[in-house]
Amino acid sequence: MAALVGVFLTGYAHAETWSAVTWEKLLDFTSPRKNVSYEPLKQAEKAWSICALYPHLKDSYWLSVNYGMVKQAKKLNINLRVYEAGGYYQLEQQRKQLQACADSKPDAILLGTVSFEGHHDLLEEIAKDTPVIALVNNIRSDFIAAATGVDWDEMGRRTAQVITKRHPAGTTSVNVSWFPGAGKPGISSTKLSAFKSELTKSSANLLNTRYGDTGKLIQLSLIEEELEGGTAPDYLIGTGVSAEAAIGALKVRGLSEDIEVVSGYLTHGVFRGIKRGKIIASPTDQPVMQGMMAIDQSIRLLEGKSYLKHYAPEILMVTKDSISEIDLECALSPASFSPTYTVEAQRNAETKSN
């Protein structure tokens, strides 16, 4: 690991060095952390095969992760196969996909889990033959070889700090409604806990917490239920999909000037909303960069090179004032990019054509 550590630099997806936050203990965000920078791999030693699993590709967050992984897989000339479960309530579907992934005999598996413990029994067997790397979401660590993913507690705190800075304790009270996503233990539930804890430092009253999968229709339905309820919130805060849906819901009701919107993570729609002044702010964990880092980490592990066992990009706050400073190559996939499920190493393709 020491070979990776250098002078800390601002990270860009196209830069020769990447900056990262790394934790001393795998999947333990309470362990000591530090900032490092290192040079990503330029080429893999062979055409490794990586299998990746996502909770879904319903919003541009996971699309951006997908883009980062595809970009780095092509750069390193490796094989990549992607499965997506269809949502955070699709545990059985992802279990089937995880088993199918393992049965295909990849060199490594990148697991963006829908459940903190729901794959534990499968992973116990799979990890005997294939290294499993946690991707983005937190998971029980017993059979995990490495991890790429930010501290979602910090994402929740950063989101709530938008309110604590505007409405510190002792000022006029405001009402907040929160849409954290599926509320899965170890995933959005940790974000919610940190959000609530930080919110106690403000004058905000948390009216309601409404859980639901991150499909746009589901989040729009939850927001409409909240707006049709008794006490109107001053702020709607939630997932990127929630924030995107909120803009339209408020416009239809003529409430855009009365209720403000904060997002818990950055998507293309949230970025446009911040730029247009429709969304106040959002933290970003730079999902494109996470996808690239996960591929780089898995290849380093397979090739016996020095690697950071658990790392992630730095979390940045995006507001109308800071938006010009955000490197979109790290945060969002290009508008032209569509979900990509297979990347084939060129060496393989050339061999087949000869």
pLDDT tens readout for residues 255-304 = 999 999 999 999 999 999 999 999 999 999 999 999 999 999 999 999 99
What percent of the chain lies above the pLDDT cut of 90?
Answer: 84
- HEC readout, the chain: CHHHCCCCCCCCCCCCCEEEEEECCCCCCCCCEEEEEECCCCCCCCCCEEEEEECCCCCHHHHHHHHHHHHHHHHHCCEEEEEECCCCCCHHHHHHHHHHHHHCCCCEEEECCCCCCCCHHHHHHHCCCCCEEEECCCCCCCCCCEEECCCHHHHHHHHHHHHHHHCECCCCCEEEEEEEECCCCCCHHHHHHHHHHHHCCECEEEEEEEECCCCHHHHHHHHHHHHCCCCCCCEEEECHHHHHHHHHHHHHCCCCCCCEEEECCCCHHHHHHHHCCCCCEEEECCHHHHHHHHHHHHHHHHCCCCCCCEEECCCEEEECCCHHHCCHHHHCCCCCCCCCCEECCHHHHHHHHC
Say how many residues make up the chain: 354
Angle between helices 240-252 and 268-275 (to 10 degrees): 50
Q: Which residue has the higher pLDDT, 3 or 179?
A: 179
Compute CA distances 208 → 29, 114, 163, 196, 235, whole Å.
28, 24, 16, 12, 11
25-68 per-position pLDDT tens digit: 999 999 999 999 989 999 999 999 999 999 999 889 999 999 99
pLDDT confidence tier of residue 10, bands split at 50, 70 and 90: very low
Q: Is the pLDDT of residue 98 over 70?
A: yes
| Predicted pLDDT at 74 | 97
pLDDT at 190: 56
Entry pTM = 0.90
Residue 349 has pLDDT above 90, yes or no: no
